[in-house]
Structure 1
């Protein structure tokens, strides 16, 4: 069911592994390397058709300066933070409460309710485009940051609840029973017993949801048109000219837009890995 550990593989596999791994890594990173090289390539190279060759010069400072000078990318990044941070807080907070209820309490219809949360993850989100757009229009939330936040919170809560419920089920239930015997209220049990144990899961889930929402492009173009609420993923299109595609500026803007989720991952790396691997081993 699982791949054989490299230590137990045949000798020729162990010999080829350190040689093939760097090659596979470079091939996997080729698109990102291409974007990084294009972001420092002079515009004359692109005009001459030099898309994949070595740059004729270094124009990194010029390209990255032009991104901030010729486009409102600072506003777009701020809008992305306005959308992403409240979404992470809202979705994780709701999923902690719903996951706790579904994992700890036994009530009629609880299994059906849990499967409804799970089933929402299997719906292709593209089929929701028209009804969600019409709903935001009828509620006066179209082309607003609030509309994007509410949609992402609603859409991400199903996956977050599945994640949190499964995490809480693996916690020692004896701690909850002991607190109940001592007369502790259910809210205080959640606040002072369960929630501290959920910190690795909260950190891992926060990084995942931050990345999902920050990198969203589909809903950013469906629910937003004006610059006042446009996230950076959709705003990068404004870096292209009317007649010419400025791929050097788009590449530079894409790398700038990718920095916040990358920085968050490295800042939360220890908690992220702990949250994903907790319970993966016995003993």
Structure 2
């Protein structure tokens, strides 16, 4: 039913695997290599059509300094921080509380509420474009960082609640029962007993939500416009000039924009892997 591990395959298959793996990795990395090389090219290389060849000159310092001195990339990066950080905090706070309520309390309509959270994850987000845009216009939060952050909090809370509810359900119920016998209040059970045990799940969701929101392009272009509110994903295209495509600046900006989620992943890598694999084995 499952593929045989490569260590148990024949010697010929293992040699083929070891030979093909480097080529597959290089093929997968080709777009990233092209972006990295383009980010250090000169504008003359781009004009001459030297897209894949070796750069005639390496303008590493000039290109990466130009995107901060001659373009509004700094404003776009700050807008991404202003959208992503509140979204991660708000989503985790709401999902921890709602997941705790759905996992611990047996009230009428518990499963109905849970299924509503699950069903929301199956709605294609593209069909919400027009109603969400109209709603932000009516509320007066269109083209604002606040409006974009509120939308992401609302949209991400469903999946995070599903994750948190299942995580809490896997915790020993005896911990909660023992605390109740001792007369501990419900909010103290959540804050001092359940929440510390949820750190792996919180770290895993923090990385996932941060990466998704930071890299979001669709809603950034639908709900915002202009350097005063657009995140970096939507603002990168504006680094092109009106008449000349400054792809070396766009590539340099793309590399800079990709650094924060990569850094967050490596900082929380230990907790991220623990949160995803918790309960995989007994």
TM range (shorter): over 0.9
1:144 is displaced (CA, Å) by 0.7
Partner of 1:93: 93
Partner of 1:231: 231
Partner of 2:53: 53
State how 1:66-77 maps to structure 2 within 5 Å: 66-77=66-77
State how 1:181-196 maps to structure 2 within 5 Å: 181-196=181-196
The gaps in structure 1 that reach 5 residues or longer are none
CA distance in 2, matches of 1:226, 1:251: 20
Residue 21 (1) aligns with residue 21 (2): yes
**TM-aligned CA distance change 1:11 to 1:105, over 3 Å:** farther
SS in 1 for 2:224: coil
Partner of 2:163: 163
SS in 1 for 2:77: helix
CA distance in 2, matches of 1:79, 1:248: 22
SS in 2 for 1:108: coil
Partner of 1:41: 41
1:20 is displaced (CA, Å) by 2.1
CA distance in 1, matches of 2:201, 2:70: 41
Partner of 1:245: 245
Deviations 1:138-186 (A, max 9, x none): 1110111110110000000011011111111111111111112222111
CA distance in 2, matches of 1:10, 1:185: 61
1:53 is displaced (CA, Å) by 1.3
State how 1:120-139 maps to structure 2 within 5 Å: 120-139=120-139
**TM-aligned CA distance change 1:277 to 1:67, over 3 Å:** same
Partner of 2:281: 281
Deviations 1:179-237 (A, max 9, x none): 12222111111111111110000001001000000001111111111221111111111
Q: What is the TM-score with the length of structure 2 in the denominator?
A: 0.97
173-182 vs 5-14, greater mean Cα deviation: 5-14
Deviations 1:5-63 (A, max 9, x none): 22223332223333222221111111111100110111111111111111111111111
CA distance in 2, matches of 1:178, 1:215: 43
SS in 1 for 2:121: helix
Q: Give the CA RMSD over aligned residues.
A: 1.2
Number of aligned residue pairs: give it.
282
Q: What is the TM-score with the length of structure 1 in the denominator?
A: 0.96
209-218 vs 23-32, greater mean Cα deviation: 23-32
The gaps in structure 2 that reach 5 residues or longer are none
CA distance in 2, matches of 1:133, 1:121: 19
Deviating 4+ runs (over 4 angstroms): none
SS in 2 for 1:202: helix
SS in 2 for 1:228: coil
